[in-house]
RNA sequence: GGUUAUGUAGCUCAACUGGAUAGAGCAUCGCACUACGGAUGCGAAGGUUUGGGGUUCGAAUCCCUACAUGACCA
């Protein structure tokens, strides 16, 4: 069992409060912060909350608690009090034995799931089949994938799932345009990636449609009417009806074009390194919600208006009335979502939570959806969670596909790859790499830069991306962390170090920078837990950066040279410390979906 | 108009959820190479945390208000 410093101290504080002031508090309410650099100590207890019970000033209270711990706890070597802050300093012996303890733990920080662990269903990606993926999707993919990894590390079983929006008016638009202007063009004949080819016709439709509207408006029609009566729009609607009737020609075209898109998506998914355990298609699920709405009508969850449309009244919940079925009996988005949720539950009866990775523009939608599911009486509905993330904005504002201000995912990846290639060959450190190894490395670095760049910011917040300024490789970046890892590996190679569980590692002196590294590693389980609780990869990203930075500082202290250290025990300790750092960096980066190279 | 987010250094982001003198990176300027990998380290400069009130031992964080931006709902 791991003897975490905060656990040891927490118990002591608890006892101190009970014995000194007859105050009984729960262990988990006692929290420590890392002592600020200006003060001496490892952890700090804020004593203001306890002055009521002690009936003494904050300083005296701190003093008394400090004294109590000092006499009862051998790990505590000294303490000091500044105002109401009690700074606790642990002995080097403690930190060394703590390090020896974690050194032996494989996959330190990770809680492994087993067959009986809670099952979480996490939806992400949710693409449309009418256009290629862009930067917004990339954030979705990276956040979704990383949160899945983080939840796994918290001992959960996670099943990643994807819903493909493969039907509707917008899909018919690209189909119609292809029929009209395509001349039988295919991905093979054009050499274009399938999703880009279909996207091209989606744009072509829009162009044609706009032209028609302009003409009609010029003839004196109002803009609104023109939008409804433009010939292309009428054709699209006719096509949608045919699709719903299962017209074989339309169905064939639909299947063909969708298959192009899927092939294109697969390439992008693979490049990004994301995957799914299951995929649902809206074309299969869009009718499912209707039965549930019927059922809800009987239960009185929904009500019918005079025109026959079905609604739910959420005014008591602070929302308003919401349409769930149109007057003509057709479903709206939320009808589908109700159906899909129910189907997923049916497919995974032991699921304990469903998570939806969807942009924050849908915040309202999911509030409504979850309320409906709860009112329908589904036990699992309370555990639904909308993993909402902010939009990625460009310097000129939001991305708009119609205005051509979209950053295409494939272009972005390609650009990153080229930057990685240029930077790496400029530095000239990978002599002896085969072409394949080099290509692999460029891929690793470019993905690392991109993923870290996106994941280091809190998902809830909107973020800014400037395509003109390429993503940095220096400072607080993915490549910096990857570099730190590669550098450690290089040292270990040079020193011919191989990790051995039974090695005894200790040093008589513990340098401040060495201790800092151990303290940081002490935090890893907390960080992973907190990241899981708040669904925030950013916490992991920031942590790994802190650790990498601390390692670089340690590395740059001349008297802490590892390879040239003559004292064998000290050398071994520093090697083991470095080794464990590289492991923790690797673990953290894996939670972000980023690989770390041995050399770069 | 209603609801809801967000507003922190020139720029991009942190701040352990109410704690000590608000921290990093980039950009700028200045250092450190007999280097275990310089994709590095050290230092300087840069802040009235959008403005104004309040709550308390203590506020970037909570409340009220104004402004700005975005998103949803009509």
Q: State pLDDT tens for residues A463-506.
A: 999 887 778 899 999 999 999 999 999 999 999 999 988 888 88
- Which nucleotide is nearest to A37 if distance is taken from CA to C1'? B20
What pLDDT, on the 0 to 100 scale, is given for residue A493? Answer: 94
**A593 conformational bin, left if phi > 0, alpha if psi -120 to 50, beta if neither:** left
Nucleotides of B under 7 A from a protein CB: 3-7, 11-17, 19-21, 24-27, 36-42, 57-58, 70-74
Query: What is the rounded distance in angstroms from the CA atom of residue A162 to the CA atom of residue A127?
Result: 8
Q: Kindly report the pTM of this predicted structure.
A: 0.95
Q: What is the ipTM of this complex?
A: 0.95
CATH number at residue A70: 3.30.1360.70
A337 CA to B44 C1' in angstroms comes to: 57
Give the closest residue to A523 by CA, choosing from A588, A449, A451: A588
For the record, the structure tokens of A297 come out as 């009508």
* 3-state helix/strand/coil string of A269-333: HHHHCCCCCEEEEHHHHCCCHHHHHHHHHHHCCCEECCCCCEEEECHHHCCCEEEEECCCCCECH
Coil, strand or helix: which one is A506? coil
Which nucleotide across the nucleic acid strands is nearest to A36, CA versus C1'?
B20
Q: Is residue A412 domain-resident?
A: no
| A 566-595: CB within 7 Å of strand B | none
**Is residue A429 domain-resident?**
no
Does the pLDDT value for residue A30 go beyond 60? Answer: yes
Q: What is the CATH number of the domain that holds A351?
A: 3.40.50.620
CA of A342 to C1' of B3 (A): 28
Q: Is the CB of A427 under 7 A from strand B?
A: yes
Question: Has residue A599 been placed in a domain?
Answer: no
Residue that terminates a domain, selected from A73, A90, A107 = A90
What mean pLDDT do residues A172-181 have?
95
What's the confidence (pLDDT) of residue A402?
A: 66
Instruction: Please classify residue A46 by burial: count the beta carbons closer than 10 Å to its beta carbon, then call 0-12 exposed, 13-18 middle and 19+ buried.
Output: middle
Residue A445 confidence (pLDDT) above 80 = yes
Q: Domain check: are A193 and A325 in the same one?
A: yes
What's residue A469's pLDDT? 78
Q: Are residues A272 and A347 in the same domain?
A: yes
pLDDT digits (tens, 9 = 90+) for A60-76: 999 999 999 999 999 99
Share of chain A above pLDDT 70, in %: 99
Strands of A32-34's sheet in order across:
A32-34, A43-46, A85-90, A76-82
For the domain that residue A465 is a member of, what is the CATH number?
1.10.730.10
Domain count, chain A: 3
- Please tell me whether residues A447 and A301 are part of one structural domain: no
- Rounded CA–C1' distance between A69 and B56, in angstroms: 29
Residue A113 DSSP label: P
Q: What is the mean pLDDT of residues A581-600?
A: 97
Residues A138, A283 within the same domain:
yes
Are both A243 and A337 inside the same structural domain? Answer: yes
Alpha helices (H) along A46-168:
51-54, 58-72, 92-103, 135-153
pLDDT recorded at residue A328: 86
In this predicted structure, what is the pLDDT of residue A399? Answer: 80
Q: Say how many CA atoms lie within 13 Å of A10 toward its Cβ.
A: 14
Range 391-420, chain A: CB under 7 Å to any strand B atom: 391, 397-398, 420
Indicate if A60 and A138 belong to the same structural domain. Answer: no
3-class secondary-structure state, position A501:
coil
Same domain membership, residue A577 and residue A512: yes
**CB under 8 Å to A126, separation ≥6 — which residues?**
A140, A162, A163, A164, A165, A357, A358
Query: Helix A92-103 to helix A512-534 angle, to the nearest 10 degrees?
Result: 60
What pLDDT score was predicted for residue A1? Answer: 57
A470 and A556 housed in the same domain? yes
**Together in a domain, A533 and A482:** yes
Residue range A239-243: mean pLDDT, rounded: 94
Q: Which nucleotide is nearest to A491 if distance is taken from CA to C1'?
A: B36
pLDDT at position A436 is 94
Q: Which of A334, A367, A393 is the last residue of a domain?
A: A393
Confidence of residue A212 (pLDDT cuts 50, 70, 90): very high
Sign (positive or negative) of CA dihedral A271, A276, A278, A279: negative
- Kindly provide the b/e burial profile for residues A121-146, where b requires at least 16 CB atoms within 10 angstroms of the residue's own CB: bbbbbbbbbbbbbbbbbbbbbbbbbb
Q: Which of A46, A189, A198 is nearest to A129 (CA)?
A: A198
Does residue A187 sit within a domain? Answer: yes
Structural domain of A543? 436-591
Distance (Å) from CA A462 to C1' B6? 8
Same domain, A301 and A382: yes
Q: Spell out the residues 6+ positions from residue A73 whose beta carbon is closer than 8 angstroms to its own.
A: A8, A9, A12
Residues A369, A372, A378, A384: is their CA dihedral positive or negative? Answer: positive
Identify nearest nucleotide to residue A533 by CA to C1′ distance. Answer: B17
Nearest nucleotide (CA of A460 to C1'): B5
Same-domain status, A24 and A145: no
Q: Using CB atoms within 10 A of its CB, is residue A349 exposed (0-12), middle (13-18) or buried (19+)?
A: exposed
Residue A262 domain-assigned? yes
User: What's the CA gap between A276 and A269, in Å, rounded?
Assistant: 10
Half-sphere exposure of A233 (CA within 13 A, CB side): 14
Query: What is the residue whose two structure tokens read 């040292």?
Result: A491
- CA-to-CA distance for A365 and A361, rounded, in angstroms? 8
Distance CA A319 to C1' B2 in A? 10
Mean pLDDT for A374-400 is: 88
The per-residue pLDDT for A239 is 95
pLDDT in tens, A311-369: 999 888 878 889 999 888 888 889 999 999 999 999 999 999 999 999 999 999 999 99
CA nearest to A523, candidates A547, A501, A492, A541: A547
* A399 belongs to a structural domain: no
Our measurement of CA A386 to C1' B55, in angstroms, reads 33
Q: Residue with CA nearest B16 C1'?
A: A33
Residue ending a domain, among A393, A414, A446, is: A393
Domain contains A104 = no
A538 is a domain residue: yes
Shared domain for A537 and A584, answered yes or no, is: yes
């Amino acid at each position: 069992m791991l003897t975490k410093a905060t656990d040891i101290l927490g118990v002591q504080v608890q006892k101190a409060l009970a014995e000194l002031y007859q105050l009984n508090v729960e262990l988990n309410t006692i929290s420590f912060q890392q002592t600020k650099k200006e003060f001496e100590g490892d952890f700090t207890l804020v004593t203001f909350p306890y002055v009521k019970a002690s009936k003494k000033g904050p300083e005296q209270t701190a003093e008394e608690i400090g004294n109590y711990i000092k006499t009862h706890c051998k790990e505590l070597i000294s303490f000091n009090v500044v105002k109401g802050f009690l700074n606790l300093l642990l002995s080097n012996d403690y930190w060394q034995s703590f390090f020896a303890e974690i050194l032996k733990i494989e996959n330190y920080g990770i809680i492994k799931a087993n067959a009986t662990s809670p099952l979480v269903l996490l939806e992400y990606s949710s693409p449309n089949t009418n256009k290629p993926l862009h930067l917004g999707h990339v954030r979705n993919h990276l956040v979704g994938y990383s949160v899945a990894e983080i939840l796994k590390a918290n001992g959960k079983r996670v099943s990643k799932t994807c819903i493909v929006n493969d039907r509707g008016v917008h899909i018919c638009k690209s189909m119609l345009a292809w029929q009209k202007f395509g001349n039988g063009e295919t991905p093979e004949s054009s050499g274009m990636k399938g999703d880009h080819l279909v996207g091209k016709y989606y744009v072509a439709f829009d162009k044609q449609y706009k032209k028609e509207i302009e003409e009609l408006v010029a003839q004196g029609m109002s803009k609104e009417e023109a939008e409804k009566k433009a010939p292309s729009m009428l054709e699209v609607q006719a096509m949608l009806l045919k699709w719903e009737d299962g017209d074989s020609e339309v169905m064939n075209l639909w299947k063909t074009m969708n298959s192009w898109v899927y092939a294109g998506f697969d390439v992008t998914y693979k490049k990004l390194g994301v995957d799914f355990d299951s995929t649902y298609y809206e074309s299969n699920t869009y009718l499912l919600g209707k039965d549930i709405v019927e059922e809800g009508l009987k239960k009185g969850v929904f009500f019918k208006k005079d025109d026959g449309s079905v609604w739910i009244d959420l005014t008591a919940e602070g929302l308003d009335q919401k349409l769930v079925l149109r007057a003509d009996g057709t479903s709206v988005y939320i009808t589908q979502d109700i159906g899909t949720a129910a189907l997923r539950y049916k497919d995974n009866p032991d699921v304990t939570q469903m998570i939806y990775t969807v942009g924050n523009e849908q915040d309202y939608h999911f509030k409504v959806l979850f309320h409906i599911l709860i009112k329908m009486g589904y036990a699992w509905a309370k555990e639904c969670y909308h993993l909402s993330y902010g939009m990625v904005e460009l310097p000129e504002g939001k991305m708009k596909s119609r205005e051509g201000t979209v950053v295409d995912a494939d272009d972005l990846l390609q650009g990153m790859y080229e930057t990685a290639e240029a930077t790496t060959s400029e530095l000239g450190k990978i002599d002896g790499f085969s072409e394949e190894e080099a290509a692999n490395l460029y891929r690793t670095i470019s993905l690392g830069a991109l993923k870290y760049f996106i994941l280091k910011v809190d998902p809830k917040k909107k973020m800014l991306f400037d395509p003109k300024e390429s993503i940095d490789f220096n400072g607080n970046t993915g490549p910096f962390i990857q570099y730190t890892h590669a550098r450690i590996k290089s040292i270990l190679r040079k020193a011919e170090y191989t990790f051995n569980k039974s090695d005894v590692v200790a040093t008589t002196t513990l340098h401040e920078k060495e201790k800092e590294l151990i303290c940081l590693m002490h935090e890893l389980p907390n960080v992973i837990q907190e990241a899981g609780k708040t669904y925030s990869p950013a916490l992991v990203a920031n942590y790994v950066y802190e650790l990498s930075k601390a390692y670089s500082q340690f590395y740059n202290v001349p008297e802490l040279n590892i390879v040239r250290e003559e004292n064998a025990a000290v050398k071994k300790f520093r090697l083991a410390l470095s080794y464990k750092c590289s492991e923790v960096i690797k673990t953290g980066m894996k939670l972000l979906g980023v690989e770390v190279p041995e050399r770069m």
